Amino acid sequence: MRVLAVNPYFSDRRGGVDRRIAGLGRALAAEGHEVTAVTGTYAETPAEGEAKGLSVRRLETSLYDGKSYDPPFLTAEGFAKALGGGAADVVDLHYMWTPDFTRSARKLRKGTPIVFTVHNAFAAGEGAGGRASYISESVLKFFMRNCDLAVCVTDFIRRDLVGRGIPADKLRVVSSGVTRTRDAELQRLRALPRLVKEPYAVFAGRIERSKGLDVLVEAVRDLERPTRVILVGAGPELDQIKAQAHDFGVAGRFAFEGYVPEARKRQLVAQADAFVYPATFEPFGLAVLEAMDLGCPVLTTSVGGLPEVAGDAARLVRPGDADALAQALNEIASGATLRSRMARDGRERALASDWPKVARAMAAAYEQAGRR
């Protein structure tokens, strides 16, 4: 099967959408399928090439400003050419806000099966937020009319779409996955000299409002044990979180690492006493799955798709509840037996979502789209 995975931006070092394209693409290729990531040329990326075994085709972009506009628009001519001429048996779209994708995919609608992978749910709002939600829902429903199958990364998203009037028979759930960390590699990471000498919890992700880090700052003020908190990542709320930590008198308990190399992030997570992810909105939560794979006890919230990803392997608290978050952090920090059990259960749960299993489920979804 020839698959085009289409997204206007793609990099191994970015977020959940990128990691799905990369991990799933390589796993499908290992099963004998031919997968090409079709994306934009930006930040001095090459026109074509490979990303660790995954074929990548980068198209010329227009209206691109690396500082203020991301992802870029792609030229319709280049995108239509990439998808034309029997280039694929199925097209898997991951993004709905680039008009060039939309127009070209619509042209191919009758000739090539179109799958739309839905990574997010769409919340309603008031005022400007309400108008944005209306536009978002309108574009979403347009995509649903012009695709053969919509693949949701969690059942939370599937239920959300059904509630918005999308026919259930046009929806299928195929989770995102993780590249399995072998036992020997995990032992090596844990045996390395510790990057943080004292007990610590770690967060990794984009520092934005939906991650609930303001709640974490409040919770740290009430911790019984002198646990340090390492924040890996950057984002629009970084300065605000730093200021709040200072105002709450806990700035010395936090370390802001910013973006770090993947190897350092993995070591930080593997050696941590807990991975804390206090999101107030999260359709999936790939960071949680990756932390469980690294044998790190996970503390997160019972919101969105997180209960599906974490299951019984993690400690779940109510989103926005600083007291519950502090209590859970105290229990994990003080309980070596609890941490050991959570680490073991997390590893077992992550194994069920390794990329080869996800790839087989996704291949079946592609076949279903072809039959439609």
Query: What is the length of the chain?
Result: 372
Alpha carbon of residue 156 to chain centroid: 14
Query: Given this model, what pLDDT does residue 132 score?
Result: 58
Tell me which fold the domain 2-177+354-371 belongs to. Rossmann fold (3.40.50)
Integer-rounded Cα Rg, in Å, for the chain is 21
pTM (two decimals): 0.89
If one looks up domain 183-351 in CATH, what number appears?
3.40.50.2000
Can you give the pLDDT at residue 325? 97
Between strands 73-74 and 61-62, the pairing is antiparallel
Region of 83 on the Ramachandran plot (φ > 0 left; ψ -120 to 50 alpha; else beta): alpha
Nearest Cα to Cα of residue 245 among 253, 237, 236: 253
| Low-confidence residues in the chain, pLDDT < 70 | 12-14, 42-52, 62-86, 97-110, 122-134
Per the CB < 8 A criterion, the answer to whether 55 and 36 are in contact is yes
Give pLDDT, residue 15: 78
Predicted local confidence at residue 275, as pLDDT: 98
What is the rounded CA–CA span in Å between residue 27 and residue 184? 22
Measured distance CA(86)–CA(168) in Å, rounded: 30
What is the pLDDT, as a whole number, of residue 125?
Answer: 42
Confidence (pLDDT) at 226 = 78
210 residue type, one letter: S
Residue type, 209: R
* 2-177+354-371 and 183-351 share one fold: yes
User: What integer pLDDT is reported at residue 254 of this predicted model?
Assistant: 97
pLDDT value of residue 54: 84
The verdict on whether omega for the bond into residue 71 sits within 30 degrees of 0, i.e. cis, is: yes
Map out the domains of the chain as residue ranges: 2-177+354-371, 183-351
What distance, in Å, lies between the first and last C-alpha atoms of the chain?
Answer: 16
Question: 113-122 pLDDT, tens per residue?
Answer: 889 999 987 6
Q: What pLDDT digit, counting tens, does each position of 150-180 carry?
A: 999 999 999 999 988 889 999 999 999 999 9
